[in-house]
Amino acid sequence: MDKFRDVVVRVALVLALLTPVYFAFAALGAKFGLFDWQMGFVVLTRDWGARVLGSAAAIAGIALALAFFTPPRRGVLGAGLALAIPVLGSIYGIYVGRQAQSIAPIHDISTDLEKPPTFSSEVVRARAAVPGGNGLDLQSKRDGEGTLFVEWQRRQYGDITHLSTGLPQARAFEIASELAHEQNWRMGRIDAANGVLEAMAETFWFGFKDDIAIRVRPDGLGARIDMRSVSRVGRSDLGANAKRMRAFLATLRARLEDAEAQAGPAPAPPREGSEADAAPSPPP
């Protein structure tokens, strides 16, 4: 019986140690194109993941009981470790699931909900090539219960709005572009003349891609900066797009304010009837 116990403990420990390997394979396999994101995330992780963890935990539980009750008592530590790994994995999965329930089930965030920044044809084609990918019509997007994405954003991300600056459009775009290049993004189209910039962010696990658009337009004597971040796949982004935009916009706001302070106050427009507008006096 003690030999059987030793074999079960070893098997349980090996299976437990292979559990993280299984999830890493599912995530990195999707990232590097061994299979698509639906196989890696939906099937291998979401659907089969709980079964893998449950099976590993069950075998480890049997191993722990055998190690504890079979004389001579041996292998308790190994069996305990074998049980701890899938249990901790299950706890983390429950945590992520509850976190997802507390976050708006959306994947498209924009500072302009009426006229969100658009994307180039290259981005549109890249998104269309993804099986089960998300569209780009923000105003028509709804969650599973029919609530509009823009309503979700107003409720949970009302602080994410456009930036206004007294700097001219060209200077504001230059600052926004410099900051964008400092991010861990893959840069795409950069059109300084039209104040448009595109980029793509990719997660380490699964290789989920989010498309980013920054738009800088003239606004009076200054400029207005809008931003949009939208996931290519998945109903919910778990708050990733909003987190990215908050961080970027906060840093951009500080840099714009610093640049305004260095440039000094913007010149006031001439008033009607001022000396600047008056016709020159005829020579005597």
List 229's β-bridge partners, or say none.
Answer: 109, 212
Short-list 131, 139, 124, CA closest to 42: 131
> Would you state the pLDDT for residue 271?
57
Structure-derived torsion over alpha carbons of residues 31, 36, 38, 40, reported in degrees to the nearest 10: -50
Cβ neighbours of residue 241 closer than 8 Å, sequence gap 6 or more: 107, 108, 109, 210, 229, 230, 231
pLDDT of amino acid 127: 95
* Residue stretches of the chain with pLDDT short of 50: 274-279, 284
Q: What is the pLDDT of residue 277?
A: 46
Provide the token pair at 85.
């790994």
Our separate counts of H helices and E strands in the chain read 8, 6
Q: Give the per-residue pLDDT at 201.
A: 97
Percent of the chain whose predicted confidence (pLDDT) is above 70: 93
Give me the pLDDT at residue 3, please.
Answer: 87
Please report the pLDDT score of residue 269 as a whole number.
55
The pair of three-digit structure tokens given for residue 29, joined into one six-digit string? 């396999």
pLDDT of residue 17: 96
